[in-house]
Amino acid sequence: MDAPRGIPAMEKFDELMNGLDARQRQAVTHKGGPLAVIAGPGTGKTRVLTMRVCYLVCFRGVDPSRVLAITFTNQAAGEIRERLRSLLPRDTSPPRVTTFHQWALDFLKGLPGREDFNPVDEAGARDLLRQAASRTNMDPRAFYRMAEEISLARQHWPLSALEEDAERVLDEYVSLLRKYHLWDYDDLILEAAEVLTGDKDLRDQVRGSLPHVLVDEFQDVSPAQYRLVRCLAQAASEITVIGDPDQAIYGFRGASPEFLREFQRDFHPVTTLRLKSCYRCPQVVLDAAQGVLNRDKGLESRVGQGKKIVFRSFRHPSAEAGWVADTIEKTAGGLSFDAINFGRAGMDETMPLDSIAVLFRARVLGNEVSDALARRGIPFQRADRRDPLAELGLLPAHHLLEAARDRNRDYHLGRLSRLLDKAKHERIWFFLQRVSGLNGADLLEETATFLGLERDSAQMMILKRFASEAGEAASLALFCRNEADLLDIKVEAVRLMSLHAAKGLEFPVVFLIGCDQGILPWEGVPVDEEQRLFYVGLTRAARRLYLSASGRKSLLGRRLAGGFSPFLRAIPSHLLEEKEQKASKYRKPNKPRQRSLF
């Protein structure tokens, strides 16, 4: 075995190792055979993962290029990369940390004959699917359903069966993708798994080069992703998977906590370690959360008992939203005249706005809170991630640029025919002629002029940054996706997001709104996954947790029965502090738009 490398980081590493508890240390230093780490909320999952990588490289002398850490999101990958950078000695080349999709993309692009394939953005994929559906003359209303079914089927391995017409549409869709040399996100995983499954030599080669694979958030792997994991690691390797079956909330896209069990079978014998010390949530929160899952022991808090969970109920969502906004105002230390007037009775400490999160089951449920916060002038940020390119209004710019550079021109022109108005679309050939041979800032300038972008618009800012920072070969789509992450964070604002989006995050103060019958659990879906979703919501809270029922009467055209979420009953009552609402306040629903009348 090599001598330990990188002496400068050693002291720090020792110090960090001493900061770990016994179980964490065991996971970090495990040697010999596959390892599964079951890591409940706040038990130091990411820390164990990064420290283990560091341990492998620095102490076991593993070549960093033979270590691969896989995550689900770019953000998670970025965080791990960042932590590794500070842990590993400067002169060590950092190991590869990437997402499933990025790994698959790089792998596929390295294969002969596919160098000029590219991933298609979400809007583009939908467009092609629509094209495929239009050829078989189907009811346009059924399209939405079918799109979901097709995508779900493609998460499975092998592909699950589809209805006959869906099958036809899928075939047509895939041939369109291939014609334009495009992969959609599902393709990346499927293709990579397919290629590796069918080519033993290649599989052995990949496996041989990667004795150490680590997979984060393992409970979220889809069947196809699990297949890929099996291709990457042989049973005898030191593969490490980290996850928490109690936080499995992506069943609707094919994930299943089952794969943790399957992993233990397929990679037998697996060493399984459970992390039980929670460094995030107070005991009160843990007990409540475990009550929801019908467990009574398991996680132990290392941050104390904590305050009771506040529960309040309302007769109307706008009343709930008003209360949330008022409570936030007080918690944040008074931002308006009112807050100063009312004082901060009952508030023990003040919090910066970005330490506060409002969580909800479905996107629309955040609207009233957005309105209430806007009315009070409290800055907030909704983390409703969608296609950043479309959101920024840069879809036409992207396709124009790609067409101008003659990369897959047919495809991009096809998309532009739907995106541009008639007048512009008629001038498109003139535009292409005009910009031929141009590149860099000149090309962007012409594109912006053609589209009529305002000089100081957000779009222009991004285009300028794109021109100066990105290379000539980069696509605007990719640039925006990476930028969007950077632009999002760091703002001092209350965070509003869905329960799903909150997974993996923590906030000192958490509001979980809409704890009503019919919302949590959502009607018509498996209850156990909803339970876990509620569990995830509760365990985001590091200090204070507020639950509320909105009294909402209807949702998306569906009538609600009324009454509280049954999950609340599963919380032992001594953990709850039930506050009665004052009837006079928080009553009248008024839309902020009406204010413009005065």
Partner DNA sequence: GTGCGGATTCTTTTT
Partner DNA sequence: GAATCCGCAC
Where do contacts with DNA occur on this chain (CB under 7 A)? Answer: 72-75, 99, 101-102, 122, 126, 130, 140-141, 143-144, 148, 185, 252-253, 361-364, 384-385, 387, 421-422, 481, 497-498, 500-501, 522, 524-525, 556-557
- Tell me how crowded residue 83 is: count the other CB atoms within 10 A of its CB: 18
User: Which residue, 144 or 337, has its beta carbon nearer to DNA?
Assistant: 144
CB of 466 to DNA, least distance (A): 19
Find out whether 357 and 495 touch, Cβ atoms under 8 Å.
yes
CB of 203 to DNA, least distance (A): 23
CB of 134 to DNA, least distance (A): 10
CB of 125 to DNA, least distance (A): 8
CB of 501 to DNA, least distance (A): 4
- Tell me how crowded residue 567 is: count the other CB atoms within 10 A of its CB: 23
User: Which residue, 252 or 429, has its beta carbon nearer to DNA?
Assistant: 252
How many Cα atoms sit within 13 Å of 123 on the Cβ side? 19
What are the phi and psi torsion angles at 359 (to 5°)?
A: -115, 150
Q: In what order do the strands lie in the sheet with 67-71?
A: 96-99, 67-71, 212-215, 240-243, 35-39, 271-275
CB of 544 to DNA, least distance (A): 23
CB of 131 to DNA, least distance (A): 11
User: Which residue, 90 or 141, has its beta carbon nearer to DNA?
Assistant: 141
CB of 234 to DNA, least distance (A): 26
User: Which residue, 101 or 212, has its beta carbon nearer to DNA?
Assistant: 101
From CA 234, how far away is CA 361, in angstroms rounded? 39
Reading the block at residue 319, the tokens are 């009343």
CB of 481 to DNA, least distance (A): 7
User: Which residue, 238 or 320, has its beta carbon nearer to DNA?
Assistant: 320
User: Which residue, 21 or 122, has its beta carbon nearer to DNA?
Assistant: 122
| Residues with Cβ within 8 Å of residue 473, at least 6 apart in sequence | none
CB of 6 to DNA, least distance (A): 30
User: Which residue, 85 or 591, has its beta carbon nearer to DNA?
Assistant: 591
User: Which residue, 99 or 118, has its beta carbon nearer to DNA?
Assistant: 99
Reading the block at residue 37, the tokens are 């780490």
- CA distances to 290, 434, 499 from 491, in Å: 33, 41, 20
CB of 146 to DNA, least distance (A): 11
Q: Could you write out the DSSP letters of every residue in 434-451?
A: HHTT--HHHHHHHHHHHH
User: Which residue, 63 or 194, has its beta carbon nearer to DNA?
Assistant: 194
User: Which residue, 348 or 421, has its beta carbon nearer to DNA?
Assistant: 421
- With b for 16 or more beta-carbon neighbours within 10 A and e for fewer, the 372-398 pattern comes to bbeebebebbbeeeebbbeebebbbbb
CB of 523 to DNA, least distance (A): 9
Distance of CA 117 to the CA centre of its chain: 25
CB of 404 to DNA, least distance (A): 21
Mark out the alpha helices in 452-542 (DSSP H runs): 458-469, 476-488, 499-502, 527-538
CB of 421 to DNA, least distance (A): 4
Q: Determine whether 596 is exposed, middle or buried from the number of CB atoms within 10 Å of its CB (0-12, 13-18, 19+).
A: exposed
- Tell me how crowded residue 211 is: count the other CB atoms within 10 A of its CB: 18
CB of 75 to DNA, least distance (A): 6
Find out whether 270 and 37 touch, Cβ atoms under 8 Å.
no
Find out whether 102 and 81 touch, Cβ atoms under 8 Å.
no
Reading the block at residue 334, the tokens are 């008074």
What are the phi and psi torsion angles at 272 (to 5°)?
A: -115, 125
User: Which residue, 200 or 422, has its beta carbon nearer to DNA?
Assistant: 422
- CB-based contacts of 116-119 (< 8 A; 24+ apart in sequence): 116/181, 117/181, 117/182, 117/183, 118/181, 118/182, 118/183, 118/408, 118/475, 119/182, 119/183, 119/184, 119/185, 119/188
| Residues with Cβ within 8 Å of residue 429, at least 6 apart in sequence | none
From CA 466, how far away is CA 528, in angstroms rounded? 45
N residues, the chain:
598
- CA distances to 23, 84, 119, 345, 533 from 113, in Å: 48, 35, 15, 69, 43
From CA 229, how far away is CA 225, in angstroms rounded? 6
Mark out the alpha helices in 244-344 (DSSP H runs): 258-266, 283-292, 317-331, 337-342
- Tell me how crowded residue 219 is: count the other CB atoms within 10 A of its CB: 22
Reading the block at residue 498, the tokens are 């869905």
